[in-house]
Amino acid sequence: MFTYSTKGTCSRMITFDVDADNKIHNVRFMNGCSGNLQGIAKLVEGKPLDEIQALLTGIKCRNNTSCPDQLSKAIDEYKASKAAE
């Protein structure tokens, strides 16, 4: 499970798993707007990381970011951690 601490959103943390095909599973947001974040988690379930990142990057709410944007940043950080291995 990968854990990402968010910045600038009501949600404080995002966790998720990635399978061998680089598809995301079990996305969980800690805090934030529960219904919206559960919806995002269901919509991205089983989708490729690159597809999710392309769709969500740059979505703005407050503080020039959003929970979907933070998920794209979490994916970026996940990819960077895998490249460093």
Ordered by start, the domain boundaries in the chain are 2-83
**What is each CA distance from 76 to 11, 53, 79, in whole angstroms?**
18, 8, 5
Region 7-13 average pLDDT: 95
What's the pLDDT score for residue 85? 85
Q: Which letter does DSSP use for residue 55 in this model?
A: H
State in words which class domain 2-83 has.
alpha beta
Lowest mean pLDDT among 8-12, 22-26, 81-85: 81-85
Specify the pTM: 0.95
Residues 36 and 38: their CA atoms lie apart, in Å, by: 6
d(CA 25, CA 46): 6
